[in-house]
């Protein structure tokens, strides 16, 4: 049968979203499919049933990633991979991650029911532990791309267990994790569909976002020195107030980010000794910057380091994830997919990290976004309309067909 007969079964896609949404649903409406919990495992098992019904052979690797494979015409070619996750944050929503996995299944179902096989095999991966409920987040994709830090195994998770104990209770054999690793070039390309978490598509009533890249981020810890003293007896012009210094720096983060066209956020602040009648003698803050161009973040970092030096503050960069630039070839295929699906779209960056960040280490990647009401995510109020979900799957289907032709 011809590729033209491949169509997304929108009713089935939204039905599967609703059925998955019955697993881990809390009384107040939020979802509790935290990584490796029983609800997470139950949701994973249901998704594997859907994979099999869509004509895929299903396996679980050593990291418990669920992999559904729909064979292609040429066994010598590496697969095109579509992936995301079905675990949630506590009180999370039912679209973050889940829509990407189920949309991938909908794409394969369309091929399967039409009796069509592409040149490349298509794999759907439901990654484990994407949310940072598991220390570091993106557990399954980190293991797959050889970037899991085993030091995280000794950290405590939400159950009170160490991460090692938590994984072992779920059936993970730590010593066998390496079996889940994949080599550079083992996938022809990776595509991830996700709800857009910034609200731009929803606000501007645009059907699809084609992701140009995933921003890099850097996190910093600073300590501002001062002199603790009596707040009632020390004149204002005689004070060495650490909090005033931290406040000035906080404004500098905002102004520097705006000037460079990136985002910067001071997220935590700890005042010592922390009493209303004592001038702060020391203040610790943490802040982050995110942007798509690492050279721009370099310039902003240099300016803020200079500001910190003037205020006699320490300046420690404790986390750094470089940006990921989408494959121009996959972006082009996804844009053509949007056009063939008759959907309006914009090309835009992702301000949040995804499993795609890790998969970029072994293959070319790109993403699709669909509108999410008010941009709310990681919340029970997270919501994408049934139409938006189907539109995303349609763009994904046509984009994968186009990609298969090009690579």
Q: What is the pTM of this model?
A: 0.90
- Mean pLDDT throughout 107-117? 97
Q: Which of 220, 239, 219, 242 is nearest to 230 (CA)?
A: 239
Superfamily (CATH H level) for 3-215+323-406? Zn peptidases (3.40.630.10)
**Cα 168 → chain centroid:** 25
Residue 194 has pLDDT above 80, yes or no: yes
Q: What is the strand order of the sheet 282-291 is part of?
A: 263-272, 282-291, 216-225, 316-321
Tokens of 26: 């809390």
Residues of the chain with pLDDT > 70: what percent? 100
Find where tokens 């007896």 sit. 233
Residue 163 has pLDDT above 70, yes or no: yes
What does DSSP say about strands 122-127 and 80-85: parallel, antiparallel, or unpaired?
Answer: parallel
Residue 162 has pLDDT above 90, yes or no: yes
How confident is the model at residue 136, as a pLDDT?
A: 79
Residues β-bridged to residue 345? 208
What's the per-residue H, E or C state across 297-333? HHHHHHHHHHHHHHCCCCCEEEEEECCEECCHHHHHH
Measured between alpha carbons, how far is 34 from 21 in angstroms, rounded to an integer? 13
Write down the H helix ranges in 162-226.
Answer: 163-169, 200-204
**Domain range annotation of the chain:** 3-215+323-406, 216-321
Measured between alpha carbons, how far is 101 from 87 in angstroms, rounded to an integer? 11
* 355-385 per-position pLDDT tens digit: 999 999 999 999 999 999 999 999 999 999 9
Measured between alpha carbons, how far is 55 from 162 in angstroms, rounded to an integer? 38
Measured between alpha carbons, how far is 40 from 240 in angstroms, rounded to an integer? 51
- Mean pLDDT throughout 336-357? 95
Residue 321 has pLDDT above 90, yes or no: no
Residues β-bridged to residue 263? 290
How confident is the model at residue 114, as a pLDDT?
A: 96
- CATH fold label, 216-321: Alpha-Beta Plaits (3.30.70)
What are the b/e assignments for 223-232, b being 16+ CB within 10 Å?
Answer: bbebebbeee
Q: Which of 355, 382, 7 is nearest to 211 (CA)?
A: 355
What does DSSP say about strands 316-321 and 216-225: parallel, antiparallel, or unpaired?
Answer: antiparallel
Three-class secondary structure of residue 237 per DSSP: helix
Sign of CA dihedral 216, 362, 94, 170: negative
Measured between alpha carbons, how far is 5 from 111 in angstroms, rounded to an integer? 9
DSSP string, 66-125: EEEEE--S-TTSPPEEEEEE----TTB-SSTTHHHHHHHHHHHHHHHHTT---SS-EEEE
How confident is the model at residue 353, as a pLDDT?
A: 86
What are the b/e assignments for 112-144, b being 16+ CB within 10 Å?
Answer: beeebbbebbbbbbbbbbbbebbbebbbbbbbb
Residues of the chain with pLDDT > 90: what percent? 93
Centre a 10 Å sphere on the Cβ of residue 375 and count the other Cβ atoms it contains: 16
Centre a 10 Å sphere on the Cβ of residue 7 and count the other Cβ atoms it contains: 13
Q: Which residues contact 295 (CB under 8 A, 6 or more apart)?
A: none
- Mean pLDDT throughout 147-172? 93
- Mean pLDDT throughout 101-116? 98
Find where tokens 């949630």 sit. 88
Q: Which residues contact 327 (CB under 8 A, 6 or more apart)?
A: 189, 364, 365, 366
* 288-308 per-position pLDDT tens digit: 999 999 999 999 999 999 999
How confident is the model at residue 2, as a pLDDT?
A: 75
* 32-87 per-position pLDDT tens digit: 999 999 999 999 999 999 999 999 999 999 999 999 999 999 999 999 999 999 99
Please give the mean pLDDT across all residues of the chain.
96
- Mean pLDDT throughout 95-102? 98
352: confidence class by pLDDT, cuts 50, 70, 90: confident
* 238-258 per-position pLDDT tens digit: 999 999 999 999 999 999 999
How confident is the model at residue 1, as a pLDDT?
A: 53
């Amino acid at each position: 049968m011809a590729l033209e007969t491949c169509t997304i079964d929108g009713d089935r896609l939204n039905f599967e979203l609703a059925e998955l949404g019955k697993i881990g649903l809390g009384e107040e409406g939020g979802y509790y499919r935290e990584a490796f919990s029983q609800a997470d495992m139950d949701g994973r098992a249901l998704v594997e049933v859907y994979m099999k019904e869509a004509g895929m052979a299903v396996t679980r690797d050593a990291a418990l990633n669920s992999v559904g494979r729909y064979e292609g015409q040429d066994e010598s070619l590496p697969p095109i991979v579509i992936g995301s996750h079905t675990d949630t944050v506590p009180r999370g929503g039912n679209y973050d991650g889940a829509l990407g996995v189920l949309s991938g299944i909908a794409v394969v179902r369309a091929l399967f029911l039409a009796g069509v096989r592409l040149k490349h095999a298509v794999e759907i991966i439901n990654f484990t532990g994407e949310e940072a409920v598991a220390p570091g987040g993106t557990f399954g994709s980190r293991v797959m791309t050889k970037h899991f830090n085993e030091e995280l195994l000794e950290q405590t998770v939400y159950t009170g267990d160490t991460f090692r104990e938590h994984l072992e209770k779920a059936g993970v054999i730590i010593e066998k994790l390496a079996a889940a690793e994949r080599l550079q070039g083992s996938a022809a390309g990776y595509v991830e569909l996700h709800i857009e978490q910034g609200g731009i598509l929803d606000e501007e009533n645009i059907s699809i976002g084609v992701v140009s890249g995933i921003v890099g981020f850097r996190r910093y810890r600073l300590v501002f020195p001062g002199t603790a003293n009596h707040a009632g007896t020390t004149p204002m012009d005689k004070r060495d107030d650490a909090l005033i210094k931290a406040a000035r720096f906080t404004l500098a983060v905002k102004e520097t980010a705006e000037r460079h066209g990136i985002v910067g956020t001071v997220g935590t602040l700890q005042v010592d000794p922390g009493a209303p009648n004592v001038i702060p003698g020391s203040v610790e803050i943490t802040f982050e910057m995110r942007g798509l161009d690492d050279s721009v973040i370099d310039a902003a970092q240099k300016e803020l380091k200079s500001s910190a030096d003037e205020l006699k503050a320490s300046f420690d960069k404790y986390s750094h994830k470089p940006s990921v630039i989408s494959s121009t070839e996959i972006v082009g295929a996804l844009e053509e997919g949007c056009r063939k699906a008759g959907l309006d779209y914009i090309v835009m960056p992702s301000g949040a990290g995804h499993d795609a960040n890790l998969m970029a280490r072994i293959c070319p990647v790109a993403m699709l976004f669909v509108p999410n009401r008010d941009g709310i995510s990681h919340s029970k109020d997270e919501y994408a309309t049934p139409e938006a979900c189907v539109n995303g799957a349609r763009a994904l289907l046509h984009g994968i067909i186009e990609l298969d032709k090009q690579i």
